[in-house]
Structure 1
Amino acid sequence: MRKILLILSFLICSNAFSQILSSNIEKKTIALGEVNRLVIKIDNLHEQQVISAPKNELLPFHFEEIKDSIGQNANTYERKIEFAVFEEGKFTIPELEFKVDGKILKTIPYELDVINTAQKADQINDIMKNKEVKLDVKDYWELYKFYILAAIALIALIIAIIIVVKWGKKSKKSPVVATNQTLKELDSLKKKRYIEEGNYRSFYVELIDISRKFITRQYRLPADVLLTDDLIEVMKKNNTISLDNEKVVEEVFLRGDLVKFAKTFPDQQTMEKDFADIREFVKKSSKDLEFENLRKDV
């Protein structure tokens, strides 16, 4: 009898001073994404610390921990975990370990069924009805201003390209550009001093070559390919070049042909006059074109 009393006393003392772990899960069957709760409690701590997995890392992979709160005082440890599962099937919460003063305490395992409660025929309704918001001009501007500015910039760029292509070509082919270019070529010919040195053949070859290129560019006549007689005939039929300028071109070109075939030998005064006449013809050519444009308009 005395032995029985001793054993009972020992057991009572042991239970009085040992830690007691308990756990409870709210639901064994949950829907997809439904929040479930697991509570773990340890009593009789006697100011001993509890060591376990860090917050939000206690449950296995498939369990999405939403909230993990730990509360502990001198005698009690309590951990409340809210979690959800986002896959259908059966899942197990295994034994969870808690260490108290070198002693390992384990919870019991739990099996959970996760089901999909939605049916194909279920009608899904919005929580709130769509609300119509009226927008004013300022609101539309804030929404689309970058698109509008980009469109304006693109249009401006296209217009600029058209202007450059259209007017750039015109400016390069304008009478003033052709005139200035030919005057520079004539100045270069003058600097070669063919006239002073009596080199009349080189002088007339280059003078007529410059003049032919000028007539081709300025008057749109095929002066660069026609013989002198044919060119003179075309100029008279075309009526683009004034009579005075036609006369200058005819005299200088015919004299150039004679010099080329050594049928005449012009003196310095004649070469000076022919050069001056061609230069004046080039300078007056713009007036011929102005008159031609007026004639076409009429």
Structure 2
Amino acid sequence: MIKLKKILFTFCLLLCANTFSQILSSTLEKKTLALGEVDSFVIKIDNLNNQKVSAAPKNELLPFHFEEIKDSVNARPNSYYRKVEFSVYDEGKFTIPELEFKVGDRVLKTISYEVEVVNTAQKTDAINDIMNNKDVELDMQDYWQLYKWYVLAALAVIATLIAIVIIVKYGKKTKDSPVVATNQTLKELESLRKKMYVEKGDFRSFYVELIDISRNFMTKQYHIPADVLLTDDLIDLMKRNNTISQENEKIIENVFMRGDRVKFAKTFPDEKTMEKDFADIKDFVKRSSKDLEFEKLRKDA
């Protein structure tokens, strides 16, 4: 009687273990594959009893050489189903190792599988094109579509080179032309007038700036070093050079000599004299173009 009870107890224990324990199974569809052929690997776990299954992430279950194409997972309260479709693109034998799946506190493992990959192509196999090559005639529109960016790039380079040549050749001449120098100096003289040195009786500041403007103008317009020469040397150079008309030479000589005397406090001009000197310099600037025209005619002759 006691022996029978032990047998019944053992039977019930085994029955409960099989009923409530998880069962893992795995299946590999094909163990020999051609290069690039698709195979499938299936894992099943039953009797989960609402326990969570933890495993490698999707598309990361198989080792390196196995190119996973599709990894689908179907998890239910009492079962887990995972199917991985894959291909191998290298010849040889490759192993799917034991893979771990954690169910609750238990770790279940699959068995390992060996997959052999073979190249089914033969060296003698003929390779045929799908269709023969065809000659296609291209018209002007087709050639334009093919080469338009090269043409546009070439035109852009040519236009850039032309612009650089024009700027280098004519830009400086325009900037330094007699008209530009005259207009710039007239603006500087107008700025000097607005400072009202004449009305304030500040004759020293008036003559210092008036002569500086005149010297810079002569340097640009006549290309003589008026900005660095002393007054006596500048007057002597003008008379020897004959570039400036005698009328303009006389104005420069009178104003510059008076400016030097004012600078060293040897004379104190009145308002009328200062206004006349300003007007004379302004007229000299305006008439300078005639000096240049005469000098050009003299050289051409």
TM range (shorter): 0.5 to 0.7
The answer as to 2:280 corresponding to 1:282 is no
Counterpart in the other structure of 2:221: 218
Q: Match of 2:150, as an amino acid? A: Y
**Identity rate, percent:** 65
For 1:113-128, list aligned pairs within 5 A.
114-115=118-119, 117-119=121-123, 127=129
Deviates more, 1:180-189 or 1:263-272: 263-272
The answer as to 2:182 corresponding to 1:179 is yes
The answer as to 2:225 corresponding to 1:229 is no
CA distance in 2, matches of 1:150, 1:290: 45
- Contact 2:35–2:117 (Cα < 8 Å) also in 1: no
1:168-219 Cα shifts (integer Å, max 9, x gaps): 4443323222222221222233334443454433332222122112112222
CA distance in 1, matches of 2:132, 2:295: 77
Distance change (3 Å), C-alpha of 1:112 and 1:256: closer
- The gaps in structure 1 that reach 5 residues or longer are 1-24, 38-59, 66-82, 93-108
CA distance in 2, matches of 1:84, 1:277: 99
Counterpart in the other structure of 2:255: 252
- The gaps in structure 2 that reach 5 residues or longer are 1-28, 40-61, 70-85, 96-112
Aligned-residue Cα RMSD (Å) equals 4.3
Scaled by the length of structure 2, the TM-score of the pair is 0.56
Scaled by the length of structure 1, the TM-score of the pair is 0.56
Look at both structures and tell me which one has the larger radius of gyration over its CA atoms.
1
1:55-113 Cα shifts (integer Å, max 9, x gaps): xxxxx996999xxxxxxxxxxxxxxxxx9864323589xxxxxxxxxxxxxxxx99876
CA distance in 2, matches of 1:240, 1:117: 97
- Contact 2:262–2:268 (Cα < 8 Å) also in 1: yes
- Contact 2:35–2:89 (Cα < 8 Å) also in 1: yes
Distance change (3 Å), C-alpha of 1:84 and 1:185: closer
CA distance in 2, matches of 1:194, 1:295: 40
Q: Match of 2:281, as an amino acid? A: I
After TM superposition, give the deviation of residue 284 of structure 1 in Å.
1.2
CA distance in 1, matches of 2:87, 2:208: 101
Deviates more, 1:135-144 or 1:194-203: 194-203
